[in-house]
Every structure is written in C-alpha cells, then in structure tokens.
Amino acid sequence: MNDTALTDFVAATAAKYDMPGIAVGIWVDGREIIANYGMTSTENPVPITEHTIFAIGSTSKTFTATALMRLVADGRVDLDAPVRTYVPELTLLDEQHAATITVRQLLNHTAGLEWNIINNTGEGDDGLAAFVATLSELPLIAAPGERASYSQAGFNLLGRVIEKVTGEPFEKVVADTVFAPVGLEESFYFQRDIMTRRFSVGHERQEDGTLAVARTWKGSRANNPGGGLGTTVSDLLRWGRFHLGDGHTASGDTVLPTEVLQRMQQPTVNLRASTLADAFGLCWMLREVDGVQLVGHGGSGFGQFADFQLVPERDFAIVVLSNASPEGIPVNQAIVRWALEHYLGVIDKDPEPLPFDAERVRELLGEYEIDAMTATFLVEDGQLLLDCKVKPEIRAAAPEGAIPQDHPAFPIGLLPNDEYIVTEGSFQGQRGFLTRDDRGEITALDLAGRVFTRIP
C-alpha cells in the first residue's frame, strides 16, 4: 500500500541528498506501507522495489542473535557459559580474558573485544574457523563485563559458536532455523544467490561531488554473522512483524518462545551519550524517544545503509534502505524521524551543544585509535573537528575497493559531562563521550559505540 505523504517525503529527501535509490517499508495500524525511490545503480539503473536486495551490514546481527537464541531456547547454549565451552580453541591476547568471556557478553558487546580484525580468511566453509584462529591478534579494550564497546569480531565469534554447537555452516543454520520458518524468501548471505536477483549496489561520493559505484558489495564470509546479509524491505517487514509478535510464525510454528523473544528486547547494559542506543539488549539497540521505547539496529558498508526500528508498544516497524555514502546516514535518519512523527506523533530531536570553550577544547585535542582507524580532534577557524581515517597501513594491505573511502572531518559541538555531538554534515546528530582516568586526564574517546584509546 502506498501513502502519498510518505512517497513525497522520500522523494524530497532523496533529492536533497542526491541519493540514487531508497526503499522504505512501514508496518502500522495492521497494514504495510511501501515507498520506493530511484535506481539500483548509476551505471546500470534498475528501479528500486520492495523486493530489491540491499546489503544491510550490521542489521545482520539481529538474525545471528535470533539463531543463537533458538539454541538457548533448546537448551543447547547457556548464555552465561564461557565461550570456550563451545569454542575451546579460542585464544586471545590474554589467557584469563579468553577463559572467562561469556556468550551473553558477546551478544551485548561487553566482552571487552576491540571492534574487528580486517582480514580475509576465504569463502570456504572454514572461513569462520580461520577467522577465530586470528583473534589472538585482536586488541582487548576492557575486562570482560566492565563496559560496552561495539564489536564486530564478537558477533563473528558468535557465528562460530553456532557452527560448533550444530556441526553445520553458520549460513545453513540461519537459513534452516530462521529464514525458512519465518518465511524469509529474499534473504541471502552468498553473492552467488544474490547476483541472479534485483539488487542494489553502493555508491561513494567522490571529491568532485559525483557518485561512483562501490566495486565491493560485501565483506568476506567470516564477516557474515556480524554484517554479511543481503535482504529486502519485504523480508525485513516480515522480520519486524515476527519480532513484534510472540515468536511464532503465521502457521503457528514456534521459532522462539515468547519469553525468549521478549528477553532479547530488555536492557542488559546502559550506554552513555551514544547515538547507537540508550542500552543494549541481547543484540538489540534500545532507545527511549519521546516517551516510547524503540528496539532496532542499523547497518552500513560499501555505500549501502540500513535502519530497522520497532516500536513494540505501538505495533510499529520501519525499514529504510539507501545506497550512497556518506549521505545514507542522514537520509535514513530523516525518514525514520518523519515516520515516527507522522504515524505515531513521536518527536526525535538532537540536544543543543554548548558554546565553544577554548580551554575545554584544548585538553581533548590529539589523536585516538582503534585497530584499524585513527580519530583526531583538531580546531580550524574556531571550529572543533573530529577527523576519522582508516590507518594507511590497513588501507594499503587491503584489496582495492575493499575499504570504503574516508569522510571529511566532522564539525563537533561539546555537551555537558564530557559528551559531544556532530553538528553538521552527513553524520549530524552522532554522539559520543570522553573517558578520564583517576587523575582527570582524558584517555579515550567513545565513537559509534567503539572505544578509541588516546595516543600519547
């Protein structure tokens, strides 16, 4: 079903941000509303529909978590058991760390693992096993359970837990235990399955303002649990209705007991000043907006962006998929915010930053890092900026096109309590905070749920 107001807003937003293609699906008042705009590719333009496959990046984690929770419901996995119960060969930089992290801590990003290792362990059935064998190189950012820090590696490790418990490849387990019973017929991990269907490609904004097709469509097979799914608005709306329901399919089959499905949506760890969420559930990102609880997950990669949000108390779901970087972030956010206000009367807005304070700014200037990136606070013409770059050695070692291009530095405004917000550009509204040691010195930067350690 179409809604003229939604269709018009999507078209206007696409024009404002020069977005090649957008697919939107909404479940509200017991009906589906669809709005599609534009083309799959600037080079080979095919109209976007609700059956166009997009790479949804980290939104894939919701499928991994659901498959894992099926094993929990069946008594085959204990959330509070050490990960080594299921993956005894796990080796990390610290032996005690490897011996104590639990399955639950992987699900809610409190395992103390750095974001990821960027490598390619092949497309064979041993890809995840080979990836896990490299985790001895992964930096550790906190003791298990000490704090939340978003980890792609942690979810890829969960995929290996699923493989070890079932004795089957990760992708087959998800297809058999999640896709098939829920009725998801347009969701695939392998490009060989996607290439014969209508699919979107990503685009990257070039320095001259033009868009170029991203030649890499998704990451390697080992990244499938954390971010490797291709799917459609049609399937994601069905996915949303499943998680808004009671864990049963339309035929009455139980995919997840109601108690387990609802447990996934309960907060397990609170987040501070995070655009991602106010709290993590079991995978789900939880936010309170204008008095209502949102349950959702976003995703991005190689010029494609996904935003998937549920409002359980209002039986509402929205999916937005777009195909150009970096504008996909503000495009998706604008459409989600418009839909929340238009259909539910829920207003989502950013906090106002404090006036520029040179003394406060001075103490945070400098460089911070994770394994693959640096983030540098600097001042230009009286404006605080945050410049995020992939490390040159990481980019040089990767195949051409395998790592998305860097974005221009973000204008930053400071908030109370060592928090900050991006004030302009494609990442407007992104929030984070600074960490201090016992002496009051700034030692780390939290950006998009990841801890960047200050470089002395």
On the question of pLDDT at 400 being above 90, the answer is no
Question: DSSP alpha helices (H): ranges in 198-308?
Answer: 224-227, 233-244, 258-264
Rounded to whole angstroms, the maximal C-alpha distance in the chain is 63
How far apart are the C-alpha atoms of 438 and 288, rounded to whole Å?
Answer: 31
Give dist(CA 421, CA 431) in Å, integer: 4
Share of the chain above pLDDT 90, in %: 79
Q: In the predicted model, what is the mean pLDDT of residues 39-47?
A: 97
Tell how far CA 47 is from the center of its chain: 26
Q: What phi-psi label fits residue 87: left (phi over 0), alpha (psi between -120 and 50 degrees) or beta? A: beta
261-285 pLDDT per residue, tens: 999 999 999 988 787 889 999 999 9
Distance CA 159, CA 285 (A): 19
Distance, in Å, from the CA atom of 347 to the CA atom of 45, rounded to the nearest integer, reads 35
User: H or E segment at 328?
Assistant: helix 328-339
Residue 176: phi and psi, rounded to 5, are -75, -35
pLDDT in tens, 204-250: 998 888 999 999 999 999 999 999 999 999 999 999 999 998 666 65
